[in-house]
Structure 1
Amino acid sequence: MTEHDLSAVRRHGVIAVLRAPSVATALDTTEALLRGGITAIEVTYSTPDPAAVIAEIVRRHGDEVYVGAGTIRRPEQAAEVADAGAAFLVSPGTDAELAAAMKATGAMVMLGGMTPSEVMLASKLGADLVKVFPSSLGGPGYLGALRGPFPDIAFMPTGGVTAENLDAWFAAGATAVGAGGDLVSSHAMAAGDWETIEATARRFARALHATRATADAAR
């Protein structure tokens, strides 16, 4: 991995984990997130035809959005979404065959791990970043504990991340965070309530800005 890859993740800070019921809903949700200031989108395989969604996001927005694919569980999925333009690939766990397929695409690779052994395996298999999932089980304190033996590994907690606790996750050592239901409400998507999604994205964006301002002031 190049420093440029990791700097992109740091720059965006919050990655919206998108589990939409349809392609059209995924695209409308993406537009609402972008209007709210969240510019990194993980289109999961829980969304129908994620490759089509990613290709259309890239067509509409190009480099203005950092788009990738998540919930990758099979090797062939990695190539499919990478060909569609995914800049990063995310798996909820760590598997050697899957990791090799993800690495072969040249995209940034994020492998899931929760325990120290899983973190070590993900790193050994070439993960550029470890997705701590489900991070709601241990909270920021657990992430901070992982940072002790693994100060050289980039972590992205996912699960249990809210606008209200965003600062605690970054203080614990997160490189970025993944935010699913607390950022992208399934009820709001089902109702086509783009205003709520946009407003929630603004809350997350403001929280990220405040967290970074506090960190800068402390330096």
Structure 2
Amino acid sequence: MNKQLDIIRQIAQQKMLPLYFHKDQAVSINVLKALYEAGIKAVEYTNRGAEAVDNFKALRKVVNESMPGMLLGIGTVKTIADAEQFIAAGADFIISPVVYPPVAKVVQDAGLLWIPGCLTPTEIFTAEMNGAKMVKIFPGSVVGPSYISAIKELFPGLLFMPTGGVDTTAESIKEWFDNGVCAVGMGSKLISKGIMQNQEYDKLTTLTKVVLEILSNIK
């Protein structure tokens, strides 16, 4: 349980969770290095392709060898088989796009943090009843920041992290935090296809530092 709380603390302290997938292993590793160089200490790699498991194992090796303090999670985990596979591969936490109690059980039985994706109050409640301490509001673009403040007091024990619909601008980020989120998921707005395609890792490090600076000014 302590490990779960430590990871929640780390994500909440960082105030954002970068997430990405690339089928090329070298690109995946270099993106992680660029994020780490910017000061990121928690990342979600997403299970979005046939290469995800092997790439994740390679990332785990790099983290173990040269990235002290980095928490490596896996996202888009929908089945028990996927959960078991990534737990065996050394995931620090597991994120699902949906609320599926059998996956929650497998993850929590392994002593890991499970962060499910939710949209409706019923889904959020189901997640809470299945042990979630933090939920991903996904896709955030559908509901917008005001949705968080509208539902937040129904779930005083839960932390909210929107993913999708969060821009890298100070205005966008501030609006989400003003409405009560503890962190924001940052995907393609931060780690764009262009950055990965053109291997612009320095650009990614610079942009990530800018976003971290914006976040550090948020109360």
Q: TM-score, normalised by structure 1?
A: 0.89
Distance across 2 between alignment mates of 1:64 and 1:126? 25
Quote the offset at 1:62 in angstroms: 4.6
* Stretches of structure 2 lacking an aligned partner (at least 5 in a row): none
> Counterpart of 1:11?
13
Q: Deviations over 1:118-171 (max 9, x none)?
A: 000111111121110001111111111121211221111111112222122222
Q: Indicate if the aligned counterparts of 1:134 and 1:157 stay in contact, CA closer than 8 A.
A: yes
CA positional deviation for 1:86: 1.6
Q: CA RMSD in A?
A: 1.7
**Matched residue type, 2:52:** D
Further displaced range: 24-33 or 165-174: 165-174
- Kept in 1, the 8 Å contact 2:141–2:165? The answer is yes
Deviates more, 1:54-63 or 1:192-201: 54-63
Matches of 2:20 and 2:217, distance apart in 1? 24
CA drift of 1:31 comes to 0.8
Q: What per-residue deviation string (whole Å, max 9, x for no partner) do you get for residues 3-61 of structure 1?
A: 43422221222110112122211100011112222222101101523431442242234
1:32·1:194 contact (CA, 8 Å) conserved in 2?
A: yes
Distance 1:150 1:77 in 2: 29
Shift, 1:105, TM fit: 1.9
Amino acid at match of 2:44: E
Secondary structure (helix, strand or coil) at the match of 2:217 reads helix
Matched letter for residue 167 of structure 1:
K
How far apart are residue 112 of structure 1 and its match? 0.9
Letter in 1 for 2:216: H
- Deviation per CA, 1:174-194: give whole Å up to 9, x if none: 122110001111121011111
| Percentage of pairs with the same residue | 27
CA distance in 2, matches of 1:57, 1:119: 35
Residue 176 of structure 2 corresponds to 169
Q: Which runs of 5+ in 1 are unaligned?
A: none
Give the TM-score normalised by the residue count of structure 2. 0.89
What does residue 106 of structure 1 align with? 111
Matched to 1:29, the amino acid is V
Separation in 2, partners of 1:184, 1:110? 21
In 1, Cα distance between equivalents of 2:66 and 2:17? 16
Q: What SS does structure 1 have at the residue aligned with 2:194? A: helix
Aligned residues: 212
Cα pair 1:58 1:85 within 8 Å, conserved: no
Equivalent residues of 2:36, 2:67 under 8 A apart: no
Determine the structure 2 residue equivalent to 1:97: 102
Q: Which amino acid aligns with 1:86?
A: A
1:67-216 equivalent positions in 2, closer than 5 A: 67-164=72-169, 165-211=172-218, 215=219
In 1, the alpha carbon distance for the partners of 2:190 and 2:65 equals 22
- 2:24 corresponds to: 22
Question: Cα 1:79–1:58, aligned 2, differ >3 Å: closer, same or farther?
Answer: farther
